[in-house]
Amino acid sequence: MAGYLLRRFWHMVLTLFAMATLMFFLFRLLPGDPTATVISPSLYPKAQEAMRQQFGLDRPLFEQYLLYLRNLLVLDFGFSFQTNRPVFEMIQGRLLNTLLLILPSMFAAYLLGAVIGAIAAWKRGSAGEVGLVFTATALQSAPLFWLGMLAILLFSIKLDLFPIGHIVTPGLFPEQDWRMYLSADFLHHLALPFLVNTLYQLCFPLLLMRSTMLSTIGEDYIELARMKGLSERRVLFGHAARNALLPLATTLPMILGWAVAGSVVIETVFSWPGLGLLMVEAISRADYPVAQAAFLLIAVLTVFGTFIADLLCGLLDPRIVYA
């Protein structure tokens, strides 16, 4: 077990290293001027020259690369083109905002998805179940940004139940004040993006839970439970559901990865100041240091989330051998 953990951890580090490398070469090699992504074009020529030396941009590419890795390790992402503030300062608060939106939402989606999926399997063949499966497939097929806009149109504009966007009412709290996370205003802002994201994300576990449960119905142990005279409900929820939970859990790493990466869309629609929105804004303003740092942080979240979810699956499934 300890060996497996260590090896899996080592893979994670390796993956992150490869991604950082990929980003370095993407940003240095793709644009015309290799320094354009590191030094703000708005600076005076003298300041530009000073930065060129500071970041080693006058040295060979390989040395630049080593310097880049060193800077990453000490969390030095350079300075924003836009604000000239250290990038690290700009992204640290954003990470928490993204997690506060995505994690509770994924938790709720998996929980609700499993329960509703199990009920759907129980009521298989009924008109309600067919309608549910149809709706879930349609929801899953809809673009998330569009669902968010519809929700705003309906609940914020027409019904005036929720604010249109942002994390708190602007001006209510000083910037980066932790007390805002404890306010009712924050929850009020969180509600709509949370609901939309949860509704969208629960379709996958719902459909998977239902089909896995249905596929176990023909299995011997289910037949045995039936022959023992257990009620249909006991058979399904006691036996079939328990065995369907595992395939559900194994998809968690993948879906968590999708959700973190997809947060870009939901944050944009709801002007939620998370990493995704920061990245999109930074790219549209050609603020490359911020964009790169935001991307790397999203990548760390994805990879780390996958790692944790993998371990959880291992705990759930006795068949996975830590060899």
Partner 1 sequence: MPTIILDFFRAVWRGPFGPTGLVILGICLALAILGPAIAPYDPVARNYDAAGKLLRLASPSWQHWLGTTLLGRDVLSQMLVGARPALLVGGLTALGTVLIGVNIGLIAGYFGGRIDSFLMRLTDMFLGLPFLPFIIIVLSLTGRSLTTMVIAMTLVMWRSTARVVRAQVLSLREMPFIAAARITGASDLAIIYREIAPNIMPIALVSVAFALAWAIITEASIGFLGFGDPSVVSWGSIVYDAYASQMMYRAPWWVIPPGIAIMVLVSAVYFVGRAYEQVINPRLRTG
Q: Which residues bind partner 1 (CB under 8 A)?
A: 11, 14-16, 18-19, 22-23, 26-27, 30-31, 37, 137-138, 140-147, 149-150, 152-153, 157, 210-211, 214-215, 217-218, 254, 257-258, 260-262, 264-265, 268-269, 276, 279-280, 283-284, 291-292, 294-295, 298-299, 301-303, 306
Measured CA to CA, the distance from residue 122 to residue 63 in angstroms comes to 62
DSSP string, 269-295: HTT--SHHHHHHHHHHTT-HHHHHHHH
Supply the DSSP symbol for 181: G
CB of 265 to partner 1, least distance (A): 5
CB of 17 to partner 1, least distance (A): 10
Which residues fall within 8 angstroms of residue 147, CB to CB, at 6 or more apart? Answer: 139, 196, 199, 200
Q: Judged by CB, which is closer to partner 1: 41, or 177?
A: 41
Q: Judged by CB, which is closer to partner 1: 8, or 59?
A: 8
CB of 283 to partner 1, least distance (A): 5
CB of 62 to partner 1, least distance (A): 21
CB of 12 to partner 1, least distance (A): 8
Report residue 169 as tokens.
């009412």
Measured CA to CA, the distance from residue 270 to residue 152 in angstroms comes to 8
Q: Judged by CB, which is closer to partner 1: 210, or 239?
A: 210
Q: Judged by CB, which is closer to partner 1: 24, or 181?
A: 24
Largest CA distance in the chain: 85
Measured CA to CA, the distance from residue 198 to residue 113 in angstroms comes to 9
Measured CA to CA, the distance from residue 52 to residue 59 in angstroms comes to 9
**Intra-chain end-to-end CA distance of the chain, in Å:** 8
Q: Judged by CB, which is closer to partner 1: 118, or 186?
A: 118
Q: Judged by CB, which is closer to partner 1: 104, or 247?
A: 247
Measured CA to CA, the distance from residue 143 to residue 148 in angstroms comes to 9
Q: Judged by CB, which is closer to partner 1: 186, or 287?
A: 287
Report residue 43 as tokens.
């600076």
Contact 1, 299 (CB under 8 A): no
CB of 164 to partner 1, least distance (A): 8
Bridge partners for 86 per DSSP: 79
Would you give the distance in Å from CA 117 to the centre of its chain? 23
CB of 263 to partner 1, least distance (A): 9
